[in-house]
Amino acid sequence: MSEQKKLTSRQERFIVEYLATANGAEAARRAGYSEHTAREMACENLAKPHIRSAIDSKRAEIMSETEDKVEWLINRLTSEAIDDGNGEATRVRALEVLGKIYGAFAPEKQEVTTYSGAFLADLDLDEAQFEALPEEKPSELSDLH
């Protein structure tokens, strides 16, 4: 018996889908396993050492490619930032993106407004209490400019 078992086409598809979804049952369904046995097949596939090994090696390959792309991008941005042939705006923009990559800027502040619905419980919704709002006259609106 060989040390590395050959993967079936369905198992290969399962591996690709598992890496995409990180959900064994969903990956099994997408790979073509029955809806009724998807969970069991996912558990069985993930327990097989040769499938687990294939998942780990494919994940490492994907991460390596991503790291290579990020490294290429950083090198390209650095060369744009220091190239005297580029305009000032191009160099500043490259430096700004590099700063964001390295976390040089504080996160943007956002205003958060929360409203409490507790005051609604105190309202008496008897419509007789509400008075009609006075109508606005066009002459009063002309003073707004």
Kindly tell me the burial class for residue 22, based on how many C-beta atoms sit within 10 Å of its own C-beta (0-12, 13-18, 19 or more). Answer: exposed
Task: Name which residue leads in pLDDT, 111 or 26.
Answer: 26
Is a pLDDT exceeding 80 seen at residue 139?
Answer: no
Task: Name which residue leads in pLDDT, 33 or 123.
Answer: 33
| Residue 28, token pair as written in the block | 């099994």
| Residue 145, token pair as written in the block | 């400019």
| Residue 2, token pair as written in the block | 């060989």
Contact present, 23 and 70 (Cβ < 8 Å): no
Kindly tell me the burial class for residue 74, based on how many C-beta atoms sit within 10 Å of its own C-beta (0-12, 13-18, 19 or more). Answer: middle
Is a pLDDT exceeding 80 seen at residue 88?
Answer: yes
Percent of the chain's residues with pLDDT above 70:
76
Give the global pTM.
0.50
Task: Name which residue leads in pLDDT, 31 or 113.
Answer: 31
Kindly tell me the burial class for residue 66, based on how many C-beta atoms sit within 10 Å of its own C-beta (0-12, 13-18, 19 or more). Answer: exposed
As a whole number of angstroms, the distance between CA 66 and CA 38 comes to: 30
Contact present, 90 and 80 (Cβ < 8 Å): yes
Number of H helices, E strands in the chain: 7, 0
Q: Mean of the per-residue pLDDT values for the chain?
A: 83
